[in-house]
Amino acid sequence: MTLSTTHRKDRAKKGTQEFFTPTIFVEEMIKNCPDEFFQNKELFHESCCGDGNILKLVYNRYRQFHNHETALSCIYAFDLMQDNVTEAIRRLYGTGKIKTLKGNDIPEDFRAVGLIAVYTHNGKLVKNLVCADGNVYKMNYGLDSKPINFGNNLFQQII
């Protein structure tokens, strides 16, 4: 467990109501998901991604069938806590320089109600992971319209 992970878990205990899903539970959920979900490039959306624990395992399943860029293009997520989103980006994109963009630094086509911050990784805009208030954020991730299969939640499909 990294120092930053320890800090986030301590903060969660002190009142942010964050809950980090144990890896063993995530592994079981992902293992029981049909391959077709990943093969067909269905979009996975996580509205409280935390530090990316679930996202990383979902990404690994996509990678069984697709290259890195395609796997990333299937995953969309946000979280309210900026440090969580930064850690999620590290998990999916790897080491590198992450820069936080807020306010007028956010590209115009990305701006939306509830959006707190977007990020760059090694100078390239990260379009699929953002920091936002889930109560009001429209989840457009800079796209002209919301992808039609966002409601196609991976875990809903296995129940």
Which of 79, 85, 78 has its CA nearest to residue 100?
85
Kindly state the percentage of the chain with pLDDT values over 90: 52
Contact 88, 77 (CB under 8 A): yes
pLDDT, tens digit only, all 159 positions of the chain = 455 556 655 555 455 667 778 889 888 888 888 999 999 998 898 888 999 999 999 999 999 999 999 999 999 999 999 999 999 999 999 989 999 999 999 998 888 889 999 999 999 999 999 999 888 887 767 666 554 444 444 444 443
At 51-93, the pLDDT tens digits run 999 999 999 999 999 999 999 999 999 999 999 999 999 999 9
Compute the distance between CA of residue 86 and CA of residue 100 in angstroms, rounded to an integer. 9
Which of 55, 110, 116 has its CA nearest to residue 88?
55
Contact 28, 157 (CB under 8 A): no
| SS3 of the chain: helix, strand, coil, percent, to 5 | 45, 20, 40
Is the C-alpha dihedral spanning 64, 28, 80, 114 positive or negative? Answer: positive
The pTM of this model reads: 0.79
Which of 93, 153, 101, 92 has its CA nearest to residue 131?
101
Domain ranges, ordered by start, for the chain: 22-142
Compute the distance between CA of residue 141 and CA of residue 147 in angstroms, rounded to an integer. 10
